[in-house]
Amino acid sequence: MPGKLTVCPTPIGNLEDTTPRVRRALEEADAIACEDTRRTGRLLELLQIPAPKLIAYHDHNEAERARELAQRVERGETVALVSDAGMPGLSDPGFKLIRACIDRDLTVEVLPGPSAVTVALVASGLPVHRWRFVGFLPRRAGELERVLQSPETLVAFESPRRLKESLAALAALAPERPAAVCRELTKLHEEIARGPLGELARRYSGEVRGEIVVVIGPASDAAPGDIAFAVDALRGLVRAGAKPRAAASVVAALTNVPANELYRQLTGRDPRK
């Protein structure tokens, strides 16, 4: 009989977040596919789980190992898939193995558990009714600007080495956009900083350590066509003699497009300066 692939989320910081189902799956697995055998080995030791054979499954060997592991499942073995932390497949290796098993019509069981994405989203205090996970923040300014146009709340991973540059670039595009920087979630030194992107860029202008998740509020509740209409209305008021800042406030109240964004569209200048 064919075996199964069990996708096991592992703690993002606190060992107590290991669920009983994940613990049992790791204990019963014939093999555990993991990003780093040393790191997963330490986790199993701390959880007092006897370690079956650990198999390195990472970005550099994912395609080849996915075929090998899917064949083992096909032969009747149970393979557990873990990443270094959180849910495998979310900006971590896992997709190719899951896909290989699905293509062979094998059982894929995904267990619930810790995820830095959902923890950061809820902790941010930003709207959660519509949101989008974008992996790691893009490096190019044009791609970053397109991401910021999203009408959903955005969740992204970021390297501590890149946080300063990324926040500076985001603040240059939308300094008043509400956001949150979530650092070391579930760990002893957990920190959640909330505020406009400009303020967060100043706060994190130096060296930062730890695992980082950035959450960014939606561009606007208004649709792109509404934004264009609002800017046209603002230009009409200014041509009629209204002062730009005052006119932007009036149009914002009527259209739900942020006044700072309207002022920036009109003048090309940061409204705070």
Domain ranges of the chain: 4-110, 116-216, 224-267
pLDDT at 179: 96
Neighbours of 112 (CB within 10 A): 10
Question: According to the model, what pLDDT value does residue 71 have?
Answer: 96
3-state helix, strand, coil in the chain (%, to 5): 40, 20, 40
Asked whether this chain's domains 4-110 and 116-216 adopt the same fold, the reply is no
- What pTM does this model have? 0.77
Confidence (pLDDT) at 53: 86
The CATH class of the 116-216 domain is: alpha beta
Amino acid at residue number 132: R
Identify the bridge partners of residue 155 per DSSP, sorted by sequence position.
133, 215
For the record, the structure tokens of 18 come out as 């290991």
**What is the CATH class of 4-110?**
alpha beta
Q: Residues 6 or more apart from 68 whose CB is under 8 A from it?
A: none
CB burial of 150-185 (b: ≥16 within 10 Å; e: otherwise) equals: eebbbbbbbeeeebbebbebbbeebbbbbbbbbbbb
The segments of the chain whose pLDDT lies below 70 read: 220-226, 256, 270-273
